[in-house]
């Protein structure tokens, strides 16, 4: 398989994530879009790893670390969103505006 | 045999575990874990005890840093590099951590009314410092990423540690934009890996000099790396999160963020851009210089219109990031750029922490306002501060004048050396913009002093309740003020120490 | 290559067979049984209690902390698989390194336990 296919796929996935972060108003959806961006990076890393025939498998190892860190990030992110929801009854990031943007 | 299984038959080269190289980091990690267990198993431990344990952990890490002072090597197969930047950043970060511990220990407490923020903030402080120290030493993009996440994840939680709505909102904004920027940084890392075949900075440095490398892929990767780092150091146009986060988070945490993340962020910025990607300086210098111009001017201009001191300090920290970017832009071709930037980070860390300490002191004056959205930090609260609290006002004057860059305070020398490096690198136009920005910034720093010294206090000063005993904050304020003045009077020794940091990737 | 597809062919046959078995059993049941619905029969069976409210009711999620903990610990196991692959090559050192890794995770779990988030309700 040419390297171009996974790279283009990852670029689309990443762009979809960026669009989601910028367009979505629900904090949980923003969180999911960020996950999409991270997974696009994982596709890239694994594709490069296969293409380079890296003997140290740096790309795959990196992808594993990204997966683990992403899980920790989601744990903290959801906890913060829940905290806001319990105090404000909303997770709409446009309504969370006590501080001026 | 399955093709994937075959790949693993070659024995993997195992890195030698160099315990000594990462001894300070290990000390911080162990201290953090121990403190977490103390918090869990001894819920009634006072903040004084926890702060003492935190300081003990920091002292151990500092002792190990001194023990390692002359060590110059690349450890763990090139994943961690011990050189001048590592050593200098470790020293500054541990000192900043100690001051932050004192601020956190004081917290929001008043007479007979202890602070109610959770005790977990102490272990989190240590974990954040671990990430920062590791980030400054990281010599592999994988370690850069992990260290960055260790510090970011700890800071996200610390930002929302109180029940105030503003802090929770700040935590959410910091988290969403931090995670967003991490994704850009990661994408850049992936492209750099694809273009050079390695995540190791030393090998990337070799590969960027190699004309057979894929130029487009590499440049795209460098661009995304720049976006990620500019987000982290809050440079314009990626600065939107900074004012909200600094204003909303509890003041001790905001001070820690402003000082320590800048030190760690710029240390890795220098290592990656001036070190590993130094061969591509022609490509990235215009981008960094452009960001520096925007950052200096926008930061200074927006700080002028602020009415909240914490928010003003946030914009001021943005403009200071701009001056530091001048140092980064110069650093690739002029070694003095590295030492000037490191020296700037040292002085800036203490100035900005001192300024936030005064904010914390003033926010604790007056009756408790637990139902308020945020802490008391409006400029109005500083009216006539000199008459009510002459010591606090005097220290405020020291920090504001130092941030402006008035000689002989430390801020002047910091700017002087960075501008000198910029001129040496042929970036005179950039230095001219920096001087203009400094002049604009003098306006808003001095306005704070006008409010504190020349305006009458609002209301009856006698009705104001005392802030209670402030031993921890008092000590921290004294130390920060002393350092700011002392560095200003004798900068030579510290700039000489910074010069040893000029050789990156030792 | 043929053996590769044959292995999956067996699985596919098994899949088809099992779907067919369930479909035939339920179909035969439907055809043979009498169909006389009454309101009592149509209500949802909830251990003998009368069901209350609609299915779209909101429930209080007490267990989201478990979900967080599960996600984090579950994903950390991702490091166990490459470790298992090279374990034999590296030997005792790999064992102790994994002990340290799991030990740190266990301290996290211990902290969660002491904070009482593992108690149900």
Closest CA to B71 of B130, B27, B21, B24: B21
Mean pLDDT computed over A69-76:
92
Could you identify the residue written with the tokens 């936030």?
B356
pLDDT higher than threshold 80 for residue B197:
yes
Q: Say whether B183 and A62 touch across the interface (CB within 8 A).
A: no
Could you identify the residue written with the tokens 């890795």?
B268
How far apart CA B331 and CA B84 sit, in angstroms, is: 14
Could you identify the residue written with the tokens 């904010």?
B359
Closest CA to A40 of A18, A68, A73: A18
How far apart CA B405 and CA B435 sit, in angstroms, is: 10
pLDDT higher than threshold 60 for residue B196:
yes
Q: Say whether A41 and B199 touch across the interface (CB within 8 A).
A: no
pLDDT level of residue A95 (50, 70, 90 thresholds): confident
Residue pair A80/A70 in contact by the 8 Å Cβ criterion: no
pLDDT higher than threshold 70 for residue B8:
no
Domain boundaries of chain A, sorted by first residue: 4-88
pLDDT level of residue C28 (50, 70, 90 thresholds): very high
Closest CA to B274 of B2, B90, B465, B501: B501
C28 touches chain B (CB under 8 A): no
Within 97-156 of B, beta carbons closer than 8 Å to C belong to none
How far apart CA C73 and CA C79 sit, in angstroms, is: 11
Closest CA to A59 of B145, B215, B194: B194
pLDDT higher than threshold 70 for residue B110:
no
CA torsion, points B404, B133, B268, B336, in degrees to nearest 10? 60
The share of chain B scoring above pLDDT 70, in percent, equals: 91
Q: Say whether C82 and A64 touch across the interface (CB within 8 A).
A: yes
Domain, as residue range, for C36: 2-114
- Helix ranges (H only) for B107-200 are 121-137, 141-159, 165-196
What's the pLDDT at B26? 95
State how far residue C40 is from chain B, nearest Cα, in angstroms.
50
What's the pLDDT at B182? 95
Q: What is the pTM of this model?
A: 0.88
Residues of A in contact with B141 (CB under 8 A): 62
A46 touches chain C (CB under 8 A): no
Q: Which chains touch B (3 or more CB pairs under 8 A)?
A: A, C
State how far residue C111 is from chain B, nearest Cα, in angstroms.
6
Q: Say whether C114 and B40 touch across the interface (CB within 8 A).
A: yes
Closest CA to B107 of B58, B150, B163: B163
Residue pair B220/B191 in contact by the 8 Å Cβ criterion: yes
Count the Cβ atoms, other than its own, within 10 Å of residue B409. 23
Largest interatomic CA distance in chain B? 86
The two three-digit tokens of residue A29, written as one number: 């959806």
Phi then psi for B378, rounded to 5 degrees?
-70, 150
C30 touches chain B (CB under 8 A): no
Count of domains forming chain C: 1
C89 touches chain B (CB under 8 A): yes
Mean pLDDT computed over C41-56:
69
Digit-coded pLDDT (tens) for B17-26: 888 889 999 9
Residue B308's beta-bridge partner residues? B378
Best C63, C78, C84, C89 residue to mutate vs chain A (most A CBs within 10 Å): C78
pLDDT level of residue B421 (50, 70, 90 thresholds): very high
Residues of C in contact with A72 (CB under 8 A): 72
Residues of B in contact with A30 (CB under 8 A): 176
Lowest mean pLDDT among B169-173, B348-352, B426-430, B464-468: B464-468
What's the pLDDT at A54? 84
How far apart CA B236 and CA B195 sit, in angstroms, is: 28
Q: Say whether A101 and B248 touch across the interface (CB within 8 A).
A: no
Count the Cβ atoms, other than its own, within 10 Å of residue B55. 18
Q: Say whether A68 and C75 touch across the interface (CB within 8 A).
A: yes
| Three-class SS state of C49 | strand
- Give the CATH number of the domain where residue C49 resides: 1.20.58.1610
| Three-class SS state of A92 | strand
State how far residue A100 is from chain B, nearest Cα, in angstroms.
7
A75 touches chain C (CB under 8 A): yes
Domain boundaries of chain B, sorted by first residue: 20-499
Residues of B in contact with C106 (CB under 8 A): none
ipTM, two decimals, is 0.95
> What are the residues whose beta carbons fall under 8 Å from the beta carbon of B28, sequence distance 6 or more?
B57, B58, B61, B126, B127, B129, B130, B133
How far apart CA C62 and CA B122 sit, in angstroms, is: 27
Closest CA to B421 of B291, B325, B318: B325
| CB-nearest partner of A68 from C64, C68, C76 | C76
Burial class from Cβ neighbours inside 10 Å (0-12, 13-18, 19+) for residue B264 reads buried
Mean pLDDT computed over B73-77:
86
Residues of C in contact with B31 (CB under 8 A): none
Digit-coded pLDDT (tens) for B224-283: 999 999 999 999 889 989 999 999 899 999 999 999 999 999 999 999 998 888 888 888
Helices B165-196/B201-208 angle, 10° precision:
50
State how far residue C33 is from chain B, nearest Cα, in angstroms.
52
A101 touches chain B (CB under 8 A): yes
> What are the residues whose beta carbons fall under 8 Å from the beta carbon of B79, sequence distance 6 or more?
B15, B138, B139, B140, B142, B143, B200
Q: Say whether B8 and C85 touch across the interface (CB within 8 A).
A: yes
Q: Say whether A64 and C72 touch across the interface (CB within 8 A).
A: no
What's the pLDDT at B116? 65
C56 in a domain, yes or no? Answer: yes
C15 in a domain, yes or no? Answer: yes
Higher pLDDT pick, B57 / B72: B57
Phi then psi for B140, rounded to 5 degrees?
-140, 140
What's the pLDDT at B3? 46
Return the DSSP state at C116.
Answer: T
How far apart CA B367 and CA A87 sit, in angstroms, is: 24
Digit-coded pLDDT (tens) for A44-55: 999 999 999 888
State how far residue B73 is from chain A, nearest Cα, in angstroms.
22
In what helix (H) or strand (E) does residue B75 lie, and over which residues does it extend? strand B73-75
Mean pLDDT computed over C7-17:
89
Within 2-61 of C, beta carbons closer than 8 Å to A belong to none
The two three-digit tokens of residue C40, written as one number: 């009592």
- Is the omega angle on the peptide bond into residue A57 within 30 degrees of 0, that is, cis? no
- CATH 1.10.287.3510 applies to domain A4-88: yes
Q: Say whether A75 and C82 touch across the interface (CB within 8 A).
A: no
User: Mean of the per-residue pLDDT values for chain A?
Assistant: 88
Using the Cα atoms of residue B226, residue B227, residue B229 and residue B230 in order, give the sign of their dihedral.
Answer: positive
Burial class from Cβ neighbours inside 10 Å (0-12, 13-18, 19+) for residue A98 reads middle
Higher pLDDT pick, B111 / A44: A44
State how far residue A1 is from chain C, nearest Cα, in angstroms.
18
State how far residue A1 is from chain B, nearest Cα, in angstroms.
16
Q: Say whether B149 and A77 touch across the interface (CB within 8 A).
A: no
A69 touches chain C (CB under 8 A): no
pLDDT level of residue B465 (50, 70, 90 thresholds): low
Closest CA to B266 of B323, B336, B198: B323
Burial class from Cβ neighbours inside 10 Å (0-12, 13-18, 19+) for residue A4 reads exposed
Nearest-CA residue of chain B relative to A22? B180
State how far residue C58 is from chain B, nearest Cα, in angstroms.
25
């Amino acid at each position: 398989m040419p390297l171009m296919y996974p790279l283009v796929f990852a670029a689309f996935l990443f762009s979809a994530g960026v669009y989601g972060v910028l367009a979505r108003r629900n904090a949980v959806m923003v969180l999911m879009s960020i996950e999409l961006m991270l997974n696009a990076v994982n596709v890239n890393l694994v594709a490069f790893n296969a293409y380079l025939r890296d003997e140290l498998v740096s790309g795959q190892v990196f992808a594993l670390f990204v997966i683990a860190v992403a899980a920790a990030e989601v744990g903290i992110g959801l906890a913060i969103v829940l905290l806001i929801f319990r105090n404000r009854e909303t997770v709409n990031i446009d309504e969370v505006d006590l501080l001026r943007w | 045999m399955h093709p994937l299984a075959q790949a693993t038959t070659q024995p993997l080269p195992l890195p030698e575990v160099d315990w000594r190289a990462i001894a300070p980091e290990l000390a911080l990690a162990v201290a953090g874990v121990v403190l977490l267990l103390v918090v869990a198993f001894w819920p009634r431990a006072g903040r004084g005890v926890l702060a003492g344990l935190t300081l003990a952990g920091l002292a151990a890490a500092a002792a190990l840093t001194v023990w390692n002072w002359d060590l110059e090597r690349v450890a763990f197969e090139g994943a961690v590099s011990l050189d001048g930047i590592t050593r200098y950043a470790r020293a500054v970060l541990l000192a900043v951590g100690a001051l932050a511990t004192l601020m956190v220990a004081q917290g929001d407490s008043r007479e007979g009314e202890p602070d109610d923020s959770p005790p977990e903030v102490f272990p989190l402080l240590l974990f954040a410092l671990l990430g920062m120290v590791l980030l400054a030493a990281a010599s592999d993009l994988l370690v850069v990423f992990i260290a960055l996440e260790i510090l970011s994840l700890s800071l996200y939680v610390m930002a929302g540690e109180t029940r105030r709505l503003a802090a929770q909102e700040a935590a959410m904004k910091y988290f969403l934009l931090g995670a967003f920027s991490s994704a850009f940084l990661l994408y850049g890392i992936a492209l750099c890996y694809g273009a050079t075949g390695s995540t190791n900075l030393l090998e990337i440095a070799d590969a960027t000099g190699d004309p057979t490398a894929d130029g487009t892929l590499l440049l795209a990767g460098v661009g995304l790396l720049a976006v990620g780092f500019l987000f982290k150091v809050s440079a314009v146009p990626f600065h939107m999160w900074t004012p909200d986060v600094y204003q909303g988070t509890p003041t001790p945490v905001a001070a820690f963020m402003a000082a320590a993340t800048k030190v760690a962020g710029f240390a890795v910025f220098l290592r990656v851009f001036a070190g590993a990607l130094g061969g591509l300086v022609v490509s990235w210098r215009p981008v960094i210089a452009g960001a520096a111009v925007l950052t200096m001017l926008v930061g200074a201009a927006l700080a002028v219109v602020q009415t909240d001191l914490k928010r003003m300090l946030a914009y001021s920290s943005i403009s200071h990031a701009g001056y530091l970017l001048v140092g980064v832009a110069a650093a690739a071709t002029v070694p003095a750029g590295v030492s000037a930037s490191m020296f700037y980070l040292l002085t800036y860390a203490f100035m900005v922490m001192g300024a936030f300490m005064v904010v914390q002191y003033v926010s604790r004056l007056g009756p408790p306002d637990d139902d308020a959205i945020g802490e008391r930090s409006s400029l109005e609260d500083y009216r006539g501060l000199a008459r009510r609290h002459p010591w606090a006002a005097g220290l405020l004057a020291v920090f504001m004048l130092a941030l402006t860059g008035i000689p002989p305070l430390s801020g002047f020398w910091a700017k002087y050396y960075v501008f000198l490096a910029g001129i040496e690198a042929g970036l005179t136009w950039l230095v001219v913009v920096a001087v203009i920005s400094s002049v604009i910034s003098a306006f808003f720093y001095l306005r704070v002093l006008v409010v504190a010294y020349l305006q009458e206090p609002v209301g009856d000063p006698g009705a104001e309740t005392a802030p209670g005993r402030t031993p921890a904050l008092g000590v921290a304020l004294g130390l920060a003020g002393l350092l700011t003045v002392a560095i200003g009077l004798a900068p030579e020794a510290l700039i000489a120490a910074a010069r040893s940091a000029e050789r990156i990737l030792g | 290559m043929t053996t590769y597809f044959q292995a999956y062919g067996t699985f596919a046959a098994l899949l088809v067979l099992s779907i067919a078995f369930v479909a035939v059993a339920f179909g035969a049941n439907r055809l043979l049984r009498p169909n006389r619905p009454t309101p009592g029969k149509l209500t949802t069976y909830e251990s003998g209690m009368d069901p209350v409210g609609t299915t779209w009711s909101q429930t209080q999620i007490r267990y989201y902390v478990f979900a967080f903990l599960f996600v984090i610990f579950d994903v950390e196991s991702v490091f166990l698989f490459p470790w298992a692959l090279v374990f034999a090559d590296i030997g005792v050192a790999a064992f102790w390194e994994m002990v340290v890794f799991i030990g740190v995770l266990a301290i996290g779990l211990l902290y969660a336990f002491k904070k009482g988030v593992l108690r149900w309700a």
